[in-house]
C-alpha cells in the first residue's frame, strides 16, 4: 500500500483506489491510495489489517505507517496468507508449468458495468473475508443452563420456559360458558 500525492506518477504494479464502492464518490482528495494486487498462490504475506488513527506518539506495534491524511495516520499490518487448496496445487506444479506472473500487470483502473469490483469474484484477488474463521465469542456461547439467575433490585430475570410455566392458563372456564351464551345479534337481523 502507498499513499501518494495526486501529482505523482502511478507506481509500477500498483492500482489506485479512486472512489468509494457504495456512493462512487472520490475516495480521497489531494492524495491517492494505491494497492498492489497479487496472485494468492504466489504470495506468502499480505495486508491483513488497516488502522486509521489520530497522530500520536504511540505507534501500534507491527504496523507500518504509509502516511498521514487530515492529521490522521494510515497504518497497515502484514500477515501470513494461509495456504488454500489452490496454493498447494500451484506449489506442487513444476516451474515450467506455472507461468502465472507474481504481480498483476499494471493497467488503468477498469470499472465493471454489471457489478462493482468489490463484488466480482476472481482467482487473482482475495476477498476481505477469505479464510476468516467464524466463531462465536465465549462470552455469548454459554448455554442457558450455565447462565446464573440475575436479580436486579428485586427483579428476577426468567427464561421463556419459566414464564410460560408460571403464567400458564388454559381458558377452561371461558370455553365451558362459551356454548351456553346466546348469539349476539348482528346488523343484518335488525
pLDDT at 134: 75
Query: What is the pLDDT confidence band of residue 95, given thresholds at 50, 70 and 90?
Result: low
Q: What cell does 160 get? A: 421463556
- Residue 3 DSSP label: E
Summary mean pLDDT of the chain: 73
- 3-class DSSP state for residue 49? strand
Q: Is 70 left (phi over 0), alpha (psi -120 to 50) or beta?
A: left
User: DSSP letter string over 58-98?
Assistant: ---TT-EEEEEETTEEEEEEEEEPPP-HHHHHHHHS-TTT-
Handedness of CA 113, 116, 119, 122 (dihedral sign): positive
CA–CA separation, 16 and 100 (whole Å): 22
| Mean pLDDT on 73-77 | 88
Report residue 38: phi and psi, to 5°. -140, 170
- Residue 47 is inside which H or E element, if any? strand 45-54
| Of 147, 7, 4, the residue nearest 74 (C-alpha) | 4
- State the Cα–Cα distance between residues 122 and 14, nearest whole angstrom: 18
106-131 pLDDT, tens per residue?
444 444 444 444 444 445 566 667 77
Per the confidence metrics, is the pTM higher than 0.85?
A: no
What pLDDT, in 10s, does the model give residues 142-186?
Answer: 665 655 666 677 787 888 889 888 888 888 888 887 666 666 665
Amino acid at each position: 500500500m502507498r499513499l501518494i500525492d495526486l501529482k505523482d506518477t502511478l507506481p509500477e504494479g500498483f492500482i489506485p483506489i479512486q472512489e468509494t464502492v457504495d456512493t462512487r464518490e472520490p475516495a480521497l482528495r489531494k492524495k491517492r491510495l494505491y494497492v498492489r494486487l497479487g496472485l494468492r498462490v504466489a504470495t506468502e504475506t499480505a495486508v491483513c489489517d488497516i488502522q486509521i488513527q489520530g497522530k500520536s506518539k504511540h505507534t501500534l506495534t507491527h504496523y507500518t505507517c504509509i502516511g498521514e491524511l487530515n492529521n490522521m495516520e494510515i497504518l497497515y499490518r502484514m500477515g501470513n496468507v494461509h495456504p488454500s487448496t489452490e496454493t498447494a496445487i500451484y506449489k506442487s506444479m513444476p516451474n515450467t508449468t506455472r507461468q502465472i506472473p507474481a504481480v498483476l500487470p499494471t493497467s488503468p483502473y477498469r470499472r465493471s458495468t454489471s457489478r462493482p469490483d468489490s463484488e466480482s469474484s476472481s482467482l487473482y484477488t482475495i476477498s476481505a473475508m477469505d479464510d476468516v474463521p467464524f466463531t462465536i465469542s465465549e462470552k455469548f456461547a454459554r448455554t442457558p443452563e450455565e447462565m446464573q439467575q440475575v436479580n436486579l433490585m428485586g427483579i428476577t430475570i426468567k427464561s421463556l420456559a419459566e414464564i410460560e410455566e408460571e403464567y400458564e392458563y388454559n381458558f377452561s372456564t371461558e370455553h365451558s360458558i362459551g356454548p351456553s351464551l346466546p348469539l349476539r345479534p348482528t346488523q343484518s337481523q335488525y
